[in-house]
Structure 1
Amino acid sequence: MAKIRVGMIRCDLHAIYYASLIQEHDPYLLREQEYGKGGYFYFYTYYNAPARIAFPMVSGFEITKLWDENRKAAENMSKIYLGKPKLCNSFEEVSDDVDLVFIPDCNGDGSDHLKLATPGIKKGVPTFIDKPFAYEVKDARELVKLAKKHKVPIMSLSILRELPHITRFRHRFAEIGQPEFGIIRAGNMEKMSGHIHAISLAQHLFGAGVESVECMGQTPLACVLLDYGTKANRPQKGVILCCASGGMYHCSFYASVYSSLGVIHSPQFSDFEFPWGCIKILKMVKKMVITHKPQVSYEEMIECIAIVTAARKAQKLRRKVYLKEVSVIQTLN
C-alpha cells in the first residue's frame, strides 16, 4: 500500500511529537529549541548516541503538507523534516490531495477544532483531531454530525487515553479487587488542554459512563468529582481529578486506586513515557484510514467534552451537574 499522505494543521509541540515518529528528520535540528520546542529531549535519550531515537518509528505515513497561523513555525517544522512537507497558505489547502488530515494541539482549548476540521471532513478526508475534541459539547456533536453526513471517519484522543503504561497499571486492579474510589493527580492544570488529559486518564482506567460531576476550587476545574451513579464495574464512590495540586515533573500524572481490600499507586506518566501513547494512537489512526472506520466510539469522545462542560457549570453554580443537562447522551455511532 502507498504511504498515507498526511496534512498537518498546526505546527506545535504535539505536531513534533507525532511527526517525529512517522517522518525522517534531522535530529540535530530537532534539538534546537526554536525548531523542536524541546521535543528532542524526550525522543533522544541515548546520551552517548545523540542521533539515535529511543522509540520505534511507525511506518506507512508521509507528511506532505503543513500549515500554521505562524508561518515561521511551519517553515521551521518543514526544515526539521528535510524540507519535504509543502507549506500551505491556508488551513483549507491542507486537506487537498491528502489521505489524512491531522490537527495537533498541545496547549489549545479546542475552540477552533470545528473550524479547522470542517474543510477536510466535507472533502471526505479521514481526520484526527488532537485533544480536546472540542471546547463545548455542541461543537463536539457538530463534528460527529458532519462526519456522519459526509461518511468520513474522525477520531480524537488524548495520549493518556492510550498510553500502554496506564493499561499495565489498570491490570493491577486484580491486586485489590473492584475499585471503589480513585484519585488522579494532574499537578497545576488550569486550562482545558490539561483538564482533558486528566479526564482521559480516568476514562482509560475506569471506563466511560460518568453520570454527574461536582467541582470546586480557586482555579478552573481545580477539583472535580466524577460520579458514575450505580453502574456496575465503576468506582461507586467516584473519582476525583486534582488539577491544582502542585508542580509536575515533566508533565507527570499519577493515579491512586482504592478498594475495601487496599490501595495501589501508579508510577509517573510523564513526557518520557508519552511517545509510547503517540505510537499507539498513530497505529489506530492508520487503521482508521485503511478501514475507513473510527477506532474509538464517538460517545466516549463526546463524553470527555461533556464532563468538562458540566464541570464548568458545576463550579459556577456550586452544585452537582448531570451530564444529561449538557445534552450529550445520544447514540451517535
Structure 2
Amino acid sequence: MDSSVDRRDFIKMAASAGLGLSLQGPASLWRDRSSRAEMKVGIIGLDTSHSIAFTKALNDPNVAPDLAGFPVVAAYPKGSLRIESSYSRIPKYTEQVKEMGVEIVDSIDELLDKVDAVLLETNDGNRHLEQAIPVFMSGKPVFIDKPIAGSLSDAIAIFEASERYNVPTFCSSSLRYMENAQAIRNGELIGKVTGADTYSPALLEKTHPDLFWYGIHGVETLFTVMGTGCESVVRKHTADTDVVVGTWEDGRIGTFRGRRSGQHSYGGTAFGEEGEAQVGPYRGYRPLLVKIVEFFRTGVPPVGKEEILEIYTFMEAADESKRRGGEEVRLDEVFRNAGG
C-alpha cells in the first residue's frame, strides 16, 4: 500500500469501489455455510511454512474429526515482495500445495470466487491490510497469521475495516494454545496469575518493528497467561537480547526476553497465588488450527480485538522505549499516536 495514502482513506477508497457486502448480512452468510458438510478454504501467501503445514493437516485423507470438512482448495501465491527469505520460497511451496490438490490462482478476487473462508498467510505483515480488504468486502471469515500487520496503525486499520464490513477476523501465534498456557490462563494450575516471565527467539527484520517479526511469539505467550491491562513498558536492548518489562494496571509485572543467540526455544514461567508453573512446552501448530476451524465454522473469533491490539501496542511501546534509551513508555500514549 502506498504510504502516502492514509489508512482510513484506504478503507474509504475500498468501500467506494462498489463491491462491499452483498445484501445478505454476515450472520446469514455463516448460517448458510455452517449448514454445509464442507467449507472450502483458500490461502493468500505461499511464502511461509505455515501454508504447507495447514494444508497438510486440512487435506489429509485421514483428517481428524476436529479438522474435517475444511479442505484447502485454492491458493494465491504472492505473499512477500520485499523479504528475500520469504519470497524465495514461493516456487517450492507452490509446487508442494499443488501436489496436495490445491488450485493456484492469479488474483485474490479469483481466489474469493472459489472459497468460503481464507487463511491470510503472507509472511510480510506490511501487505496484510491491502490483502485483507477484499476478503472483508467479500463477507468471508479470514484468519490473519502473525504479525497481524507491519505497524500498529495498520493493525488498527484492519479492525476498522473488519467492523466496517461486519466481518470478524483474528490473529494469533500458535504459542497461545500451548496446553499449559491455556490451563494457566483458565486458572486451572496456579490460581490467579500474579506475574510471568516468558521467552522466545526475537530475530529482527528491517521491514518490521523489532518484536513484530518474531518476538511476537513470546509476547503473545506473556499476554496469554497475564491477560490484558498492561499500562507501561521499559525495554533494554543489546545485539543479542531484548528484555521488556511490562507493568499491569493492578501492579503485576510481566517480562519478555527475546533472544538472538544460543538455542532457539520458547517458554516461560507463570507465578500464581497457588504456586508457579512452566508455560510450555510448545508442540506445534495443531491446537491453533483447531481454533481457526472453529472460527470458520462459527464466525466467533477466539481472541478479541482488544487483546490483539494491546499486544501490538505493547511491542510498539517497546520500540519507543528503545528509541528513548530505555525510558518507561505508556501504552495509551503509543496507541493514541498510532491513530487509535
Shorter chain as denominator, the TM-score bin is 0.7 to 0.9
Where structure 2 has 5 or more consecutive residues not aligned to the other structure, the ranges are: 1-35, 79-86, 206-211
Deviation at 1:9, TM superposition (A): 0.7
Counterpart CA distance in 1 for 2:112 and 2:169 is 14
Q: How does 1:1-333 map to 2 (within 5 A)?
A: 1-11=36-46, 12-24=48-60, 58-69=67-78, 72-81=91-100, 84-105=101-122, 108-170=123-185, 174-175=189-190, 178-191=192-205, 192-219=212-239, 222-230=242-250, 236-244=251-259, 246-248=261-263, 251-258=264-271, 263-269=276-282, 273-287=283-297, 291-318=298-325, 319-327=327-335
Aligned-residue identity in percent: 22
Report the TM-score when normalising by structure 2. 0.74
* Corresponding residue SS for 2:215: helix
Deviation at 1:257, TM superposition (A): 2.5
Residue pair 1:101, 1:125 contacting (<8 A) in 2 also: yes
Q: Higher mean Cα deviation, 214-223 or 197-206? A: 214-223
In structure 2, relative to structure 1, the CA distance for the partners of 1:168 and 1:294 (3 Å cut) is closer
Counterpart CA distance in 2 for 1:73 and 1:120 is 25
Counterpart CA distance in 1 for 2:302 and 2:333 is 27
Residue pair 1:65, 1:88 contacting (<8 A) in 2 also: yes
In structure 2, relative to structure 1, the CA distance for the partners of 1:73 and 1:116 (3 Å cut) is farther
* Corresponding residue SS for 2:129: helix
Map Cα deviations across residues 218-256 of structure 1 (whole Å, 9 max, x no partner).
2498111121122xxxxx3411100027433xx531111
Counterpart CA distance in 1 for 2:153 and 2:240 is 20
Counterpart CA distance in 2 for 1:228 and 1:59 is 40
* Corresponding residue SS for 1:133: coil
In structure 2, relative to structure 1, the CA distance for the partners of 1:166 and 1:144 (3 Å cut) is same
Deviation at 1:263, TM superposition (A): 4.0
Q: Higher mean Cα deviation, 315-324 or 88-97? A: 88-97
Residue pair 1:111, 1:135 contacting (<8 A) in 2 also: yes
The one-letter amino acid of 1:94's match is L
Counterpart CA distance in 2 for 1:228 and 1:133 is 23
* Corresponding residue SS for 2:228: coil
Where structure 1 has 5 or more consecutive residues not aligned to the other structure, the ranges are: 26-51, 231-235
Counterpart CA distance in 2 for 1:257 and 1:128 is 28
Counterpart CA distance in 1 for 2:96 and 2:174 is 21
Residue pair 2:55, 2:97 contacting (<8 A) in 1 also: no
Deviation at 1:23, TM superposition (A): 0.7
Counterpart CA distance in 2 for 1:220 and 1:286 is 39
Counterpart CA distance in 1 for 2:125 and 2:134 is 16
4+ residue segments displaced more than 6 Å: none
Deviation at 1:171, TM superposition (A): 6.1
The one-letter amino acid of 1:85's match is V
Deviation at 1:13, TM superposition (A): 0.5
Residue pair 2:222, 2:254 contacting (<8 A) in 1 also: yes
CA RMSD between the two structures: 2.9
Map Cα deviations across residues 124-177 of structure 1 (whole Å, 9 max, x no partner).
2211101111122211111111111112121211111223342235567754x5
Q: Higher mean Cα deviation, 306-315 or 91-100? A: 91-100
The one-letter amino acid of 1:305's match is Y
* Corresponding residue SS for 1:3: coil
* Corresponding residue SS for 2:230: coil
Residue pair 1:154, 1:294 contacting (<8 A) in 2 also: yes
Counterpart CA distance in 2 for 1:58 and 1:265 is 28
Deviation at 1:283, TM superposition (A): 3.2
Deviation at 1:193, TM superposition (A): 2.8
Residue pair 2:74, 2:114 contacting (<8 A) in 1 also: no
* Corresponding residue SS for 1:128: strand
